[in-house]
Chain A
């Protein structure tokens, strides 16, 4: 029983990370048809910037400021990417993807150049470093922080998409971008907003991944990105709720299978993906929220 609880908590914690990365990915892909290979770079950057701040400023203030710095770094990098790389290539969708591939190779290399190839240890403040007892299971406190923040993001995104005009534009744009522009709406602003928002979530994800592992390393972004892609495929591009559900499914399946036999976790994720694809003969595009 305690094992099940621990596995579930870990699975949900990992799912939270996947959701943080995949939510931006799915909105960007849904709205702009850009499979953003630079997203892992936003994750990595968020992690390192967050770590740098938290390393200088120990304790809880450092943690909070570190997370905020990660968010800011992710958002800023993503916004610059949209403005400087994606927007000039508007109308060349393949080149947009290729350019993000280039960034996805260059930025992690840059991170390695600046912070070195070895992992940097992220020391947690005392209250977060311990575990919480839950029905006899000792669950690391960080997991709850991850789950809480991911749920807050889910709620916030749902409100944003469902209740605001900007959200309406994004939802409509995911369905039919051309028609949105034909109604006199400048989708480029929505594009920038979605990129920045996705980058912010990815930056937060990177910093939280650092907390979860207790360290940050140059390959963090890339390793999360692959699972985030799987989550996007399972959840349906452009769908926030679908992405959240898929993230939970992937996180739990991975942890349970890993417990059964080491390295089975990742294989079972791929089997899950293949099974869903075989059973679901429809296009990748889903609906937002």
Chain B
């Protein structure tokens, strides 16, 4: 163990890009493996059900990274991040289903719309600072949620959501046999998120963002305008989130209003904090864990072990959100740096 970690830190794997490449290479190879991990996954790694679960974890990891670009790296707390996921997801679905565009054209337009929306909304919302910004983005997110659920049900499908026209989905992405391709798309999305977030963090704007998180006054003293750098973070995070919305759409086969719910944004916050905010791997690990827990807690909740418990205990345990919320409070109390901060002791906060 010791030699392993020291190789990791000092040996040939010292370069962070080499390490990251290795991690992604392993993730890339997973669908070729028939490894069974009893108790963790229901089947071998290449089983469609397992790949689907893993793909959702990867999408959540990417979304959590995009959220953490704002929250952990720049110190801006948004409660409306889900609206960009919603935007990417619904814009693509509506264009495919109702305008007859191709899938990729629709996705590209969706991302462009998200970009424009992020610039406008960010420009308005960032006029208020700190926690006020959180409230304003919450309100914007709520507006999007209402638009999606009750705005025009013939377009969005209301509370049910809108199924993506199966005819528009390329054959290599449809059908259970092709789940591995969806998995790789999710992985590619995560890789893009990682490249963008890490690359930005290592650049000049990224350093300013980090300085903003620590002390906004010091940035102003340097003659830089905090507003512009926050807006940059907001826009990049928003576009990444919209991309995640498109990939999530492919995984689910349709758009769902749950991504517009304020609880969805809160869950992104939970992922980032669970993993460790402003850290290289923190949000990604938090997203994977949350994605896994969210899907398997439902399994635990519905399991016979829980069903056998007395009502007082069973009720709360059947609520995944109760377990996650309670776990989150415990993490905030006892592991303030998140999991990577707590257990990765020497894994350092992102320092360019």
A-side residues, CB < 8 A to B, are 29, 33, 35, 37, 85, 88-89, 92, 94-95, 97-99, 101-110, 112-114, 222, 226, 229-230, 232-233, 237, 262-263, 266-267, 269-270, 273-274, 277-278, 281, 283-284
Tell me whether A270 and B139 are in contact (CB under 8 A): yes
Q: What's the Cα separation between A92 and B337 when bound, in Å?
A: 12
Q: Which residues of A contact B270 (CB under 8 A)?
A: 101-102, 105
Known A-B contacts: A98-B273, A233-B128. Give 8 more (CB < 8 A): A106-B325, A109-B325, A110-B315, A112-B319, A113-B319, A229-B135, A269-B143, A277-B136
CB closest residue in chain A, given B151: A263
A266 contact set on B, CB distance < 8 A: 142-143, 146
> With an 8 A cutoff between CB atoms, is B262 at the interface?
yes
Q: Is the CB of A85 within 8 A of B329?
A: yes
Contact call A229/B139, Cβ cutoff below 8 A = yes
Known: A92-B336, A99-B329, A278-B127. A110 touches B138 (CB 8 A): no
B293 contacts A by Cβ under 8 Å: no
| Cβ contact of B127, chosen from A98, A112, A226, A277, cutoff 8 A | A277
**Majority-rule SS of B interface residues:** helix
CB distance from A28 to the nearest CB of B (A): 11
Q: Report yes or no: A101 in contact with B135, Cβ–Cβ below 8 A.
A: no
Asked if A233 contacts B319 (CB within 8 A), the reply is: no
CB of A99 within 8 A of CB of B332, answer: yes
Counted as pairs of residues, one from A and one from B, with CB atoms less than 8 Å apart, the total is 128
Task: State whether the Cβ of B165 lies closer than 8 Å to any Cβ in chain A.
Answer: no
Which of the listed residues A99, A112, A229, A230 has the most CB atoms from chain B within 10 Å of its own CB? Answer: A229
Main secondary structure of the interface of A (DSSP, over half): helix
Closest B residue, CB atoms, query A37: B266
**Contacting residues, chain B, for A232 (C-beta < 8 A):** 135
The residues of A that contact B136 with a CB separation of less than 8 Å are: 233, 273, 277
Question: Does residue B343 face the partner (Cβ distance < 8 Å to A)?
Answer: no
Interfacial chain B residues near A113, Cβ < 8 Å: 315-316, 318-319, 322
Report which B residues bind A (CB closer than 8 A).
Answer: 77, 124-125, 127-132, 134-136, 138-140, 142-143, 146-147, 150-151, 262-263, 266, 269-270, 273, 315-316, 318-322, 324-329, 332-333, 336
The reply to whether A102 and B328 contact each other, CB–CB distance below 8 Å, is: yes
Most buried by A among B142, B324, B328: B142
**Cα of A85 to Cα of B332 in the assembled complex, Å:** 10
Give CA–CA (A98, B130) in the complex, Å: 14
Complex: how many Å from CA A278 to CA B127? 7
Given the known interface contacts A105-B324, A109-B316, A110-B316, the answer about A99 and B333 at a Cβ–Cβ threshold of 8 Å is: yes
In the complex, what's the smallest C-beta–C-beta distance from B78 to chain A, in angstroms? Answer: 13
- Please indicate the chain A residues that have their CB under 8 angstroms from the CB of B146 in the complex: 263, 266-267
Q: How far is the CA of A269 from the CA of B142 in the complex (A)?
A: 10
Residue of A92, A222, A270, A278 near B140 (CB, 8 A) is A270
Q: Which residues of A contact B273 (CB under 8 A)?
A: 98
Whole-angstrom CA separation of A230 from B266 in the bound complex:
17
Contacts of A103 in B (CB 8 A): 325, 329
Question: In the complex, what's the smallest C-beta–C-beta distance from B83 to chain A, in angstroms?
Answer: 11
CA distance A263 to B333 in the complex (A): 40
Contacts A109-B316, A109-B319, A283-B129; A102 near B336 (Cβ below 8 A): no
A105-B316 Cα distance, complex, nearest whole Å: 12
- CB <8 Å contact, B325 and A226: no
> Are B326 and A226 touching (Cβ within 8 A)?
no
Contact of B139 among A106, A112, A226 (CB under 8 A): A226
Q: How many whole Å from A35's CB to the nearest CB in chain B?
A: 5
Q: For the complex, what is the distance from the CA of A110 to the CA of B128, rounded to whole Å?
A: 34
Within the assembled complex, what's the spacing in Å between the Cα atoms of A113 and B316?
5
CB within 8 Å for A284 and B319 given contacts A262-B150, A263-B150: no
Chain B residue at minimal CB-CB distance from A116: B315
Interface centre among B131, B150, B273 (most CB of A within 10 A): B131
B127 partner residues in chain A, CB cutoff 8 A: 277-278, 281
Q: Is the CB of B135 within 8 A of A35?
A: yes
Given the contacts A106-B325, A114-B315, A277 and B140 also touching, CB distance less than 8 Å: no
Q: A37: which B residues are within 8 A, CB to CB?
A: 266
The 10 closest A-B pairs by CB, nearest first: A106-B325, A105-B325, A113-B315, A284-B132, A102-B329, A109-B322, A102-B328, A270-B143, A109-B319, A109-B321
Residues of A within 8 A of B140 (CB): 270, 274
B131 touches A35 (CB 8 A): yes
A33 and B131: CB pair below 8 A?
yes
CA gap between A281 and B329 in the complex, in Å: 35
Find chain A residues with CB under 8 A from B336 CB: 92, 95
Indicate if the CB atoms of B326 and A102 lie closer than 8 Å. Answer: yes
CB-CB under 8 A from B130, the residues of chain A are: 284
CB distance from B145 to the nearest CB of A (A): 9
Min distance, Cβ A27 to any Cβ of chain B, angstroms: 14
Contacts of B124 in A (CB 8 A): 274, 277-278
Q: Verify A233–B322 contact, CB threshold 8 A.
A: no
**Interfacial chain B residues near A284, Cβ < 8 Å:** 128-132
Give the CA-CA distance A89 to B147 in the complex, in Å: 37
A273 to B333, CA, bound (A): 34
Contact across chains for A226 and B142 when beta carbons are under 8 A apart: yes
